[in-house]
Amino acid sequence: MLPRRRTLTLLVVLCLGHVLLISSQVPAKDGSSVLGAATFGAVARFQAAIGGVAGGLQGAWAHYVALGGASRENDALRARVLELEGQLQGERARASRVDGLEDALNLQRSLVAPTLAARVIAGNSVPGVLTVNIDRGAADGVQPNMAVINGRGVVGRVIGRPSARAATVQLLIDRTAAAGAMLEATGTAGSVAGGFADGYLRLGLISSATPIGIGERVVSSGQDGIYPHGFLIGQVLQINGTGKTREILVTPAVRFERLDVVLVVLARLAAAEGRRP
């Protein structure tokens, strides 16, 4: 049985070989052999398939490279935007400092009492104690209980013993701070006190019969011997209750969270006016 299968296989191989030999000798239309044309066609189709795959891979790679380039450009643009935003914030900070200096200088020119410009250099980290340190001290003529103001209004007063080149200022919104005050429209005198969690001042010692309007200006009265007369303290924000239990809330004129340049009043306004010829 096995010899017969071998004979049949040999016969098939010989027939195929004969066919291939004849095909190699039969010319095609273009003059080449049929076998050569068939082989070339098969190879061409294979190459086309390989070329398609390679083209697709090349296109995918080019797209990937393009995406990578775009991603790097986007990263560079984002970095540039952040850099420009940082520069803008720096410019705004410098502009704010310039505005503070201009306000201080304009106020200084309008005052009769001598004043000293100072820069806020630090705040107090103790909870509930609202003070700041300034870069002027005893060597500059700063003494305890001198008033401190800025272009917006009353800031506070110097407390403690100043060092040669630094002093501590108690802000008007501190829990133990107070100042003589009056309603600008009527001239009714009273006092303002700080130390409230909402950040507003309280106007007290005002007669219950005194009419008060929302938005009315509250200024320093000068009766406390510290703050010169007529400096803005704030505006009436809200009136709660009536009669003797009436509570008057005052919005401070000064933005205490953004203090930069301040003025120390080196002499009380009344004393300075008394020395003028």
How far, in Å, CA of 36 to CA of 51, rounded? 22
Position 101 scores a pLDDT of 62
Position 217 scores a pLDDT of 95
What is the dihedral sign for C-alpha 123, 126, 130, 135? negative
List beta partners, residue 116: 264
Domain ranges of the chain: 32-110, 115-275
Q: Please give the chain's pLDDT, 277 residues, in tens.
A: 555 556 656 555 556 555 555 554 545 454 545 555 455 455 445 555 555 555 555 565 555 555 656 666 766 676 566 555 545 544 554 555 556 666 666 666 656 578 889 999 988 756 667 999 999 999 999 999 999 998 889 999 999 999 999 999 999 999 999 999 999 999 999 999 999 989 999 999 998 888 899 999 999 998 998 998 889 999 999 999 887 788 999 999 999 988 888 999 987 544 434 433 3
The SS3 of residue 107 is helix
Give, in order, the Cα–Cα distances in Å from 219 to each of 113, 136, 180, 231.
17, 26, 9, 5
Give φ, ψ of 57 to 5 degrees.
-65, -40
How far, in Å, CA of 59 to CA of 76, rounded? 25
How far, in Å, CA of 8 to CA of 215, rounded? 118
- Measured at the CA of 190, the angle between CA 187 and CA 196, to 5 degrees, comes to 130
The CATH classification number of 115-275 equals 2.40.10.340
**88 CB contacts (<8 Å, ≥6 apart)?**
none
